[in-house]
Structure 1
Amino acid sequence: MLKKKNIAWMLVLMFVAGIALAGCGGNSAKTANGGKVLVFAQGSDPRGLDPAYVDDGESAKIMNQIYEGLVRYKPGSTEIEPLLATEWSVSPDGKEWTFKLRKNVKFQDGTPFNAQAVKFSIDRQLPPQRKDDMPYAAFVYDGVKKVEVVDDYTVKIIMEKPNAAFLANMAMALAAPIVSPAAVKKYGDKFVEHPVGTGPYKFVKWDKGQQIELTAFDGYWGEKPKVGKVVYKFVKENSVRASELMTGSVDIMDGVDANDVKTLESKGIKMIKSPGMNINYMGFFTYKKPFNNLLLRKAISMAINRQNLVDYLYQGNATVAANGMLPDFIPGYAKDIKTYDYNPEEAKKLLAEAGYPNGFEFTAITYSNPRPYNPVNGEKLAAAIQAELAKIGVKMNIKSYPWKEYKQVLFDGEGDAYFYGWIGDNGDADNFLMLLDSKEIKDSLNSSKYANPKYDALLEEGRTTLDPAKRVTIYHEAQKLIAEDAPWVFISHSVDMAAARPNIKGFALHPTGIHWLDVVSKE
């Protein structure tokens, strides 16, 4: 087995070495900093590059180089610091937020950034302009009534109700970034492929299925990027990305397979690790048969040995999500709440009680590429769980799709169950718990289409409560409901991992899954 793996690695390395000189790392016109090009390899194309219309990390990582919001997260944490807003204040009742804006900032199309641009970016995501395919709008702007331009560099956001997480939401890479009004009007529906923001890098071109090219924005208001050109290269297989990293065809990669860590380190590659603000799960379509039956959801949950999955698939680079969806460092995490533990004999009893003494058959959909919360990819995870369920007489059929196609079939509700995950956006408990809020069904974030009025009421109470201690108590009760109802099998929290060549300096992972490449140098 070991010999076969070594031979496979050698073949991959020989292949990659043969094409490395033709790869994107060694081409291109001269750019700033001596013509250096920084190549980042990720698992798939983004779904798009308009922050109002996407909901995935592959999109967020790239958009974070192009756009900026009013505020941003500090490196390494979810504390908030100024960005396009230099200062802000909130009224005592939490219903009026006033932002003072940075002056002398331009969008990458040369148009000025001002309060009118902020109003435009938010207004298009509020009713009546909001569209059904704006997945994050309802979440980020929850409670927002209207936006008022006080003057060219002051904007006021009026809330219908307080939102305890609002400022953290405004730092997110999805929905919150400010877009060029002129570019949106120019490109219309095609703006999703022609992004224009105020960030340190501007968009050049997108070769679908291959790469996206960015170049340093000469008119950027802040410190100029250390490398003049960035290429995001799309390579589905973890092992191929790792091979290209070792040969120098790419400079940085994410989605590192646990099986490749030792090999990479032996070649002098730097591993970057941080605790993952994520959840890896198997979801049930709770609104239709067979998984509208709680007994079946509990049976499947008890039939899966999550510790074995973590040990076998992730080799110490993940932890079992024993207490539900929240990572243990999120305020509101409830360590005293337990999800359904591995108990195959009890699972069989539940199957019989539900009317399936000889088991049953269902279809689960999954994704073919790696994800930060599941770096081995959805197919491997699904296959491992398929084997577990066979032990109690349950046959799980698997249908796999590339990432972009997968998002659509998931939204359409194909099959009976699905594999998915979540990367926290802002460090707030609500950002995880809202994934099962019934009002997020329409916006596609609640993929299970789970609905529990008591749970919804608790989340609403938590959002509008400004006292942190009271919010924790509310969220503990919400997590207890979810643990009992089992709309998901809570599998694991993955350690965030990336890898970089030794000549790359300054690259760091952020808990939200994004990164900043303008601070990265290539020596």
Structure 2
Amino acid sequence: MVAMAAALAWAAAAGAAEPKVLRYALDASETGFDPMKVNDQYSRIINSHIFEAPYKYDYLARPFKIKPNTAEGMPEVSADFRSWTFHITPGIYFADDPVFKGKKRELVAADYVYTWKRAYDPANKSPVYSTFNEEGVIGVDELRQQAIKTGKPFDYDREVEGVRALDRYTVQFKLAKPRPRFLYTLADQSPFGAVAREVIERYGEQSAEHPVGTGPFRLSFWRRSSLMVLERNPAFREITYDAEPNADDAEGQALLARFKGRRLPMVDRVEVAVIEETQPRMLSFLNNEFDLLFKVPGDLIPVVAPGGILAPGLVRRGMAIQRIVSADITYYFFNMEHPMVGGYTPDKVALRRAFALAYDVDAEIRLVRRGQGVPAQTVVMPGTSGYDPQLKTEGSEYSPARARALLDMFGYVDRDGDGWRDMPDGSPLVLSLATLPDSIYRQFDELLKKNMDAINVRVEFKTAKFPEQLKAGRAGQLMMWSLGNTSSSPDFQESLQLLYGPASGGQNMSRFRLPAFDELYERLQVLSDGPERNAILRQAQALVTAYAPHKYNVHRITSDIAQPWLIGFRRPPFGRQFWQYVDIDDTKRDKR
């Protein structure tokens, strides 16, 4: 009701027809809208439409193409990939906010310098600090270490060699080592979407509640974990629909022909609800309350798209389905610092590998996901460089017999006769798994318990909402948790960061720290794409398979269903932006 009243008021104030509104739902809660303080995909989807990085992914190009966004042309790159310079297009403005006191606030080079430095400010506790720091931007981490050592505020005003505003519109990065793929970082709208320093300083700890960017939309209403309403940003510059689909991409070519030259965004408002349970989310879509069923729940696939083909009843209603193997992965992580499941000694490795052998991924795909997934062999995701669909590893093997033998060999046996295995020292062996209160997670948990019962290992579940589990996981307070990760980059390095030692507590939720792996990871960062880099990747994958800090489950097959009046939707393979590229044709809307 609040959103509807706001929509009517907006239309009346504009003296125009009822605004075009895109409505859909997410299956888990957001955590906030400060790009440097969040790292969950749900918040990042919202942020990517509010904040802007210098570069972006072409909406229609497949597999991908990076183009200028706020930048004027592609970056100037040194031959050794250690110097990157780009120029901002003049005349780009932040959305209006009271902090600007009624004046237009232009995006300038200093904003990107400030945005980059924010990742290093200890006060922000940024989960993307490790991502930024591993790029080796000269001098910035020294500011962080000084702030930590002295206890004084981070010195944003101190100029460093590595990231500077050469003039009002020119930004230069200087890196300690070659970074051939630094462009991917410059194209990530969240976290590298520009913020204005005066906005962050004005709102302080409430910065996540007051996002102000230069993007096509601005937040107008937020009911936490329930509803986010965003409106077209009146200050957004004039940009028209343009893209570069492949010549053989019939759908992409048709969309380009239809929309080329249209001013963006084409919708006036976006309303994103949070509905965690699958049935209510599906019913809302079927009742025409949503224009898009974003990520069809696996347990509903047999009803709405048996065999991957849209059900006849939905076809008659004019709906359309899109299915892709996503550049993502689902996995269980073990907290490598936990006294029961962590550590690098043979007995701890055996426990984790026994868990992996006992878990039936094929049953998960068949029974819970209803066929919407392919088994994952390593952390590298489909669609990214280095992914080999033919690769098979021990990590995907299902063998309860081998699991039992491993546990017996290393002393995980039933010592008190109660039917459950104990630790080698005789203390109880109880695996504690964090989980979510959704019905789909209950199905995952039931399968896991059945698998663990089969090898006489007790498991207990600790249920909480996603934001709470995420906070606890980053703090190292969970023993185990099942997560999904979606790549925002076409390079495999982002996947490996889930295991990189310096990223512990951020991307590396397992807190895996292995010097041999970290050395390989750092070598991969500086090498250009090619056979040598792929060979080192295989060594890194072998180490992870051996130590088993993760149990890899599936790469998800993602299905999205659009109502007939939603025109132009294509799920981005890496970037998260699509709102500004879709249109609503209300003449096709089912009025029932």
The 8 Å contact of residues 293 and 561 in structure 2, kept in 1 or not, is answered as yes
Secondary structure at the aligned position of 1:495 is classed as strand
Distance 2:56 2:553 in 1: 30
CA contact (8 A) 2:365 2:373 kept: yes
Residue 497 in structure 1 maps to residue 513 in structure 2: no
**TM alignment of 1:302-321, pairs within 5 A:** 302-321=357-376
Q: 1:261 to 1:352 in 2, by over 3 A?
A: closer
- Structure 1 counterpart SS, 2:72: strand
Question: In the alignment, is the contact (CA less than 8 A) between 1:38 and 1:227 conserved in 2?
Answer: yes
- Amino acid aligned to 1:238: T
> What fraction of aligned residue pairs are identical, expressed as a percent?
23
Q: Secondary structure at the match of 2:49?
A: helix
**2:290 aligned partner:** 250
Match runs of 1:280-291 below 5 Å: 280-291=330-341
**Residues 415, 219 of structure 1: CA spacing in aligned structure 2 closer, same or farther, 3 A cutoff?**
closer
Correspondence for 2:322 among 269, 272, 277: 272
SS of 1:497's equivalent in the other structure is: strand
1:206 deviates by 0.8
Spell out, residue by residue over 1:262-297, the C-alpha distance to the aligned partner (whole angstroms, 9 max, x if none): 544433333222221111011111222322300101
CA distance in 2 between partners of 1:298 and 1:513 (Å): 34
**How far apart in 1 are the matches of 2:475 and 2:119?**
23
Deviates more, 1:470-479 or 1:219-228: 219-228
- 1:19 counterpart residue number: none
Deviation, 1:185, is: 2.2
- Answer yes or no: is the 8 Å Cα contact 1:279–1:327 preserved in 2: yes
Per the alignment, residue 42 of structure 2 pairs with: 58
SS at match of 1:197: coil
CA contact (8 A) 1:300 1:347 kept: yes
Distance 1:333 1:38, change over 3 A: closer
Query: Hey, what's the Cα distance between the residues in 2 that align with 1:343 and 1:147?
Result: 52
- 1:84 lines up with 2:100 in the alignment: no
In 2: Cα distance, 1:416 partner to 1:120 partner: 36
Letter in 2 for 1:278: D
C-alpha spacing 1:33/1:389, structure 2 compared with 1 (3 Å): farther
| C-alpha separation in 1, matches of 2:231 and 2:196 | 18
CA contact (8 A) 2:331 2:484 kept: yes
User: What is the letter of the counterpart of residue 579 of structure 2?
Assistant: L
- Normalising by structure 2, report the TM-score: 0.79
What's 1:411 paired with? Answer: 474
Q: Is the 8 A contact 1:294 1:485 kept in 2?
A: yes
Distance in 2 between residues matched to 1:488 and 1:476, nearest whole Å: 17
Once residues 513 and 353 of structure 1 are traced to their aligned partners in structure 2, the CA distance between those partners, rounded to angstroms, is 47
Pairing 1:478–2:540 present: yes
Contact 2:26 2:274 in 1 (8 A): yes
**Cα drift, residue 406 of structure 1:** 1.2
**What CA distance in whole angstroms lies between the structure 2 residues aligned with 1:393 and 1:92?**
58
1:204 lines up with 2:196 in the alignment: no
| Separation in 2, partners of 1:67, 1:328 | 27
Answer with 1 or 2: which has the greater Rg.
2
2:217 and 2:453 map into 1 onto residues whose CA distance is 50
Supply the RMSD in Å over aligned alpha carbons: 2.0
Aligned-residue offset at 1:300: 0.7
One-letter amino acid matched to 1:400: T
Q: Give the counterpart letter for 1:273 in structure 2.
A: R
Q: Is the 8 A contact 2:381 2:495 kept in 1?
A: no
C-alpha distance in structure 1 between counterparts of 2:445 and 2:370, whole Å: 17
Q: Does residue 368 of structure 1 match 2:437?
A: yes
Unaligned runs of 5+ in 1: 1-21, 370-375
Picking from 118, 137, 142, the partner of 1:144 is 137
In the alignment of these two chains, the number of paired residues is 492
Which residue matches 1:213? 229
1:236 aligns with 2:299: no
Q: Describe how 1:328-367 pairs up with structure 2 within 5 A.
A: 328-334=382-388, 335-340=390-395, 341-358=397-414, 359=421, 360-367=429-436
106-115 or 220-229, which deviates more = 220-229
Secondary structure of residue in 1 paired with 2:190: coil
Q: Deviations over 1:313-367 (max 9, x none)?
A: 112210011x211134322235445133111111111111121123232211123
Q: What is the aligned partner in structure 2 of residue 423 from structure 1?
A: 486
Could you tell me how far apart the structure 2 residues matched to 1:70 and 1:62 are?
18
Contact 2:110 2:165 in 1 (8 A): yes
In structure 1, what is the equivalent of residue 209 of structure 2? 193
1:25 touches 1:249 (CA, 8 Å); kept in 2?
no
CA distance in 2, matches of 1:98, 1:380: 50
Cα distance change of structure 1 residues 130 and 181 upon mapping to structure 2, 3 Å threshold: same
- Please give the per-residue CA displacement for 1:190-210, whole angstroms capped at 9, x wherever unaligned: 111110111111111211232
- Give, in whole Å, the separation in 2 of the partners of 1:270 and 1:306: 29
Give the SS at the match of 1:242.
helix
Deviations 1:370-423 (A, max 9, x none): xxxxxx743422221111111111111111211111111222333422111211
Equivalents in 1 of 2:574, 2:443: separation in Å? 24
Please state if 1:174 is matched with 2:158.
Answer: no
User: Which one-letter code corresponds to 2:289 in the other structure?
Assistant: S
Q: What residue identity is the alignment partner of 2:117?
A: D
